[in-house]
Structure 1
Amino acid sequence: MDSQNSELVKQQVQAELANAYAQEFFTTVREKCFAKCITKPGPSLSSGEATCVSRCTDRYVDATRMISGVVLQAYSSGQGGV
C-alpha cells in the first residue's frame, strides 16, 4: 500500500472514530438528561423540562471540552498514556 492510500485509510478510520464518539456522546447525554429532567413524559416539554435539558446538555458539552483539553495537553506534552 502506498503512502497516499495509507493516508486515505487513516483519514477514513479517524472519521469513523469521530462519528462513533459523537454517537456515544449524544446517546449518553440523551439518556442522562432525559432521566434527570423528564419526570412525566408527554407530547411536549414543559418550560422547566426544556430548561433542565438545555442546562444538562450544556454541562456535558463543557465537561467534554474540559476533559478533551486536558487529554490533548497531556498528549502533546509527551504523556500520551494518560
Structure 2
Amino acid sequence: MDSSLSSPELQRFLAQEKEKAMVNEMVAKLTSECWDKCITSTPGSKFSSSESSCLANCAQRYLDMTAIIMKRFQSMQ
C-alpha cells in the first residue's frame, strides 16, 4: 500500500470530507421533511407566521433528535 494513502493528513482530510457530506445530507433531509410538513400551499414571497413557526419547530426537533441519536451511537462504542 502506498504510504501517502495512509498519511495522517490524508486521513484527517477524508474524515473532514465525510463529515461535510453527512452535514449536507442532513440539511437536505431536514429541508425536505420540514418543507413537506409545514408548507401546505403554494408559497408566496414570504412565509406566513404559522409556516415560519412550523419550520423553526420542525428544524429544532430534527436537530434535537439527531443529537440524541449521535449520543446514543457514541455511547455504544
TM-score scaled by structure 2?
A: 0.90
Q: Which residue of 2 aligns with 1:55?
A: 57
Q: Which residue of 2 aligns with 1:17?
A: 18
Shift in Å at residue 68 of structure 1?
0.2
Q: Which residue of 2 aligns with 1:39?
A: 40
Q: Which residue of 2 aligns with 1:80?
A: none
- The percentage of aligned residue pairs carrying the same residue is 29
CA deviation string 1:30-52 (max 9, x = no partner): 00000000112221100100000
Q: Which runs of 5+ in 2 are unaligned?
A: none
Say which structure, 1 or 2, has more relative contact order (CA 8 Å, 6+ apart).
Answer: 2
**Alpha-carbon separation, structure 1, partners of 2:7 and 2:25:** 27
State how many pairs are aligned: 73
Say what the alpha-carbon RMSD is for the aligned residues: 1.2
TM-score scaled by structure 1?
A: 0.84
**Alpha-carbon separation, structure 1, partners of 2:45 and 2:14:** 39
